């Protein structure tokens, strides 16, 4: 994926952070970021010698310096809060330590400073409720995907497409889309797969383009069929239960609070620029309370499942009864007319007998079981 001048700096920093992980495959990362190994190793050397400043086209001053007085430290606290109005005492405390400050006051003192400068409202204090959530044990075991609710720009609607790794909370994709159709999502996901590899499973809600609210038990659309054929497991949230994708819903809250509230954009490119700038902060700088105040990049690892755009042949077990779906999702099985998802038109599906249940079958597309059939009920 070519690097544009707009996001070159953030991509360099992302490359270095991923490449410095303990089990990183440098050459694989170079391929994913579309750079030569020579360039990749040069970036790592410059980073080791000069830090983040070594990745820029010209040198920059460090973000902070040691030996601050109490008054200087208070100014740092206020400046961080003004730069990130949704951050509280714990995040600012962790971030100041990450920036190399010494004698950083405890979170409670930072909160008092924020109150003293009228930077925390009573409503924000009431909303500061800790959450405990289940998470998968490894990166790329599960990715969560969804569109955040649209907002208007001067040139039309923006639908932010978001993709989050469940284990690390690393944001893999934050894309300003003009529409929510399959082609836009597939193009964006292809870019994410090329850069990060593929997950074991992706979870989405039941709305288009990844599901059908009328038949949520099937969960088959053109987009999910593409994912399944890539070898990715697909799951869907229960209807009317957005908390199944709770980490992504929480990410949307942060996106709204830290990027969208009180701002307007002229067009999608301007919105995308704001997304890119905040994504760098979210992944690499912003302390995350669910990660013991670490940034998501410290827990994310590149997937070892490389993306191959060519879809392989569809095959089933020898004991399966295979039928091809005809026009409008129609087919005949054991003399009974059936109808499945229109997206399966022209594709083979498998009827797998259920042991000890005569006339009952699990119905599969590739590895995905999308329905159960009882012939006695037809």
Q: Worst-scoring range by mean pLDDT, 145-159, 217-231, 274-288?
A: 217-231
**Are residues 197 and 228 located together in one domain of the fold?**
yes
**Are residues 277 and 331 located together in one domain of the fold?**
no
Q: What is the CATH number of the domain that holds 201?
A: 3.30.420.10
**Confidence class for position 54, pLDDT limits 50, 70, 90:** confident
**Are residues 244 and 366 located together in one domain of the fold?**
no
More confident residue, 237 or 5: 237
**How large a percentage of the chain has pLDDT more than 90?**
50
**Are residues 294 and 192 located together in one domain of the fold?**
yes
For range 149-170, the mean pLDDT: 95
**Residue 333 in 3-state DSSP?**
strand
The answer to whether residue 62 is domain-embedded is no
Asked if pLDDT for residue 72 goes beyond 80, the answer is: yes
Specify whether the CB–CB gap between 257 and 249 falls below 8 A. Answer: no
| Residue span of the structural domain in which 76 resides | 70-126
Following DSSP, what letter does each residue of 216-268 receive, concatenated?
TTT---HHHHHHHHTT-EEEEPPTT-GGGGHHHHHHHHHHIIIIITT---SSH
**Are residues 51 and 158 located together in one domain of the fold?**
no
The answer to whether residue 212 is domain-embedded is yes
Whole-angstrom distance, CA of residue 150 vs CA of residue 132? 28
**Are residues 157 and 254 located together in one domain of the fold?**
yes
Following DSSP, what letter does each residue of 93-159 receive, concatenated?
HHHHHHTT-SSPPPHHHHHHHHHHTT-S-HHHHHH---------SSTTS-EEEEEPPPEEETTEEEE
Per-residue model confidence (pLDDT) at position 56: 77
**Strand 336-339 vs strand 368-374: parallel, antiparallel, or unpaired?**
unpaired
The answer to whether residue 103 is domain-embedded is yes
Whole-angstrom distance, CA of residue 9 vs CA of residue 3? 9
Per-residue model confidence (pLDDT) at position 214: 60
**Are residues 285 and 167 located together in one domain of the fold?**
yes
**Are residues 122 and 167 located together in one domain of the fold?**
no
Asked if pLDDT for residue 181 goes beyond 70, the answer is: yes
**Are residues 289 and 150 located together in one domain of the fold?**
yes
More confident residue, 363 or 13: 363
Per-residue model confidence (pLDDT) at position 63: 54
Whole-angstrom distance, CA of residue 239 vs CA of residue 198? 26
Look at the chain and count its residues: 378
**Are residues 202 and 101 located together in one domain of the fold?**
no
Specify whether the CB–CB gap between 197 and 303 falls below 8 A. Answer: yes
Number of independent structural domains in the chain: 4
The answer to whether residue 241 is domain-embedded is yes
Whole-angstrom distance, CA of residue 92 vs CA of residue 45? 30
Whole-angstrom distance, CA of residue 270 vs CA of residue 276? 10
Asked if pLDDT for residue 31 goes beyond 70, the answer is: yes
The answer to whether residue 93 is domain-embedded is yes
Whole-angstrom distance, CA of residue 264 vs CA of residue 283? 23
The answer to whether residue 131 is domain-embedded is no
Asked if pLDDT for residue 141 goes beyond 90, the answer is: yes
Asked if pLDDT for residue 146 goes beyond 60, the answer is: yes
For range 41-66, the mean pLDDT: 73
Q: Nearest-CA neighbor of 104 among 87, 122, 89? A: 89
CA 252 distance to own-chain centroid: 11
Per-residue model confidence (pLDDT) at position 139: 94
Asked if pLDDT for residue 355 goes beyond 70, the answer is: yes
Cβ atoms within 10 A of the Cβ of 323, count? 17
Eight-class DSSP state of 326: -
**Are residues 229 and 259 located together in one domain of the fold?**
yes
More confident residue, 356 or 303: 303
Could you report the per-residue pLDDT of 83-124, keeping only the tens digit for each? 888 888 888 989 998 998 888 888 888 888 888 878 876 555
- CA torsion 75-76-77-81 (nearest 10°) is 100
Q: With a threshold of 0.75, does the pTM exceed it? A: no
The answer to whether residue 134 is domain-embedded is no
**Are residues 241 and 169 located together in one domain of the fold?**
yes
Q: Worst-scoring range by mean pLDDT, 234-243, 244-253, 281-290?
A: 234-243
Eight-class DSSP state of 216: T
The helix-helix angle for 89-98 and 70-83 (nearest 10°) equals: 110
Cβ atoms within 10 A of the Cβ of 79, count? 11
């Amino acid at each position: 994926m070519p690097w544009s001048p707009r996001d070159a700096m953030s991509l360099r920093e992302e490359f270095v952070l991923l490449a410095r992980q303990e089990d990183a495959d440098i050459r694989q990362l170079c391929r994913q970021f579309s750079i030569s190994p020579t360039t990749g190793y040069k970036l790592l050397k410059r980073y080791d010698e000069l830090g983040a400043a070594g990745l820029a086209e010209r040198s920059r001053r460090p973000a902070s310096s040691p030996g601050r007085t109490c008054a200087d430290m208070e100014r740092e606290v206020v400046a961080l809060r003004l730069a990130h109005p949704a951050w509280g005492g714990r995040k600012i405390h962790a971030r100041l330590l990450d920036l190399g400050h010494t004698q950083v006051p405890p979170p409670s003192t930072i909160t008092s400073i924020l109150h003293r400068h009228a930077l925390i409202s009573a409503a924000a204090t009431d909303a500061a409720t800790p959450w405990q959530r289940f998470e998968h044990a490894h990166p790329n075991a599960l990715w969560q995907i969804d569109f955040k609710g649209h907002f208007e720009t001067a040139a039309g609607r923006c639908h932010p497409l978001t993709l989050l790794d469940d284990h690390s909370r690393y944001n893999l994709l934050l894309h300003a889309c003009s529409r929510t159709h399959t082609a836009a999502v597939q193009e964006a996901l292809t870019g994410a797969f090329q850069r990060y590899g593929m997950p074991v499973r992706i979870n989405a809600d039941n709305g288009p383009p990844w599901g059908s609210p009328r038949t949520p038990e099937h969960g088959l659309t053109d987009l999910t069929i593409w994912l399944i054929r890539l070898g990715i497991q697909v799951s869907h949230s229960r209807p009317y239960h957005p908390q199944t994708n709770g980490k992504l819903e929480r990410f949307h809250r942060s996106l709204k609070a830290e990027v969208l509230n009180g701002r307007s954009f002229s067009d999608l490119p301007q919105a995308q620029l704001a997304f890119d700038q905040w994504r760098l902060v979210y992944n690499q700088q912003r302390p995350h309370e669910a990660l013991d105040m670490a940034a998501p990049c410290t827990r994310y690892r590149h997937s070892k499942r490389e993306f191959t755009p060519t879809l392989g042949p569809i095959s089933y077990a020898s004991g399966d009864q295979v039928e091809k779906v005809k026009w409008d999702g129609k087919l005949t099985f054991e003399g009974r007319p059936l109808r499945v998802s229109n997206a399966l038109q022209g594709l083979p599906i498998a009827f797998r007998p259920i042991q000890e249940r005569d006339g009952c079958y699990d119905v599969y597309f590739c590895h995905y079981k999308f329905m159960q059939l009882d012939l006695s009920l037809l």
